[in-house]
Amino acid sequence: MKNGLNKILLAVVIVLLVVLVVIVGWKYIAGGPSYYAVYLRTGDLYFGELSTFPSFSLSHVYMLQVNSQNQQNPVSIQKFTNVFWGPEDSISINRNEVVWYTRLASDSKLAQLVQSNPSLTPSTDTTQTPTAGTSTPGTTSPQSGK
């Protein structure tokens, strides 16, 4: 009886391991990273690689910057680590604050921008300190692709 139970338990563990390997392998074989847009109740919009387990979080984070004073490019994308207070490249999000989230198409302009310039480092001087009402160093317009 005990020997039969051990065999069944071993078979279940092996099947679970195979399923886990297939899931992890499929994620890496399927292509590059999948980027998501996450919109919060605060009105903030973040982009990055989404993880829902063990907690809701984004890594390789980008954020939407609105600059109403710039008529040519009032909206820009900024690498989260480029803001002046220097956060790490991940953010934990309170799931209750999420209004919606969606996966970005791999051929979307934002996904292409992030893949071609992952740090979104501008070609201009980045030693400036941000001032109220202006965009901070490290911003890039999705239209310009810089």
Question: pLDDT for 8-67, tens place per residue?
Answer: 888 899 999 988 887 766 665 555 568 899 999 998 899 888 888 888 898 888 888 888
Question: Domain for residue 104, yes or no?
Answer: yes
118 in helix, strand or coil?
coil
The answer to whether residue 144 scores a pLDDT higher than 70 is no
Determine the structural domain holding residue 123 and report its residue range: 36-140
Question: Domain for residue 43, yes or no?
Answer: yes
b/e map 101-121, b = 16+ CB within 10 Å: beebeeeeebbebbeeeeebe
- 112: domain CATH number is 2.30.30.100
Q: What is the pTM of this model?
A: 0.58
Question: Domain for residue 2, yes or no?
Answer: no
133 in helix, strand or coil?
coil
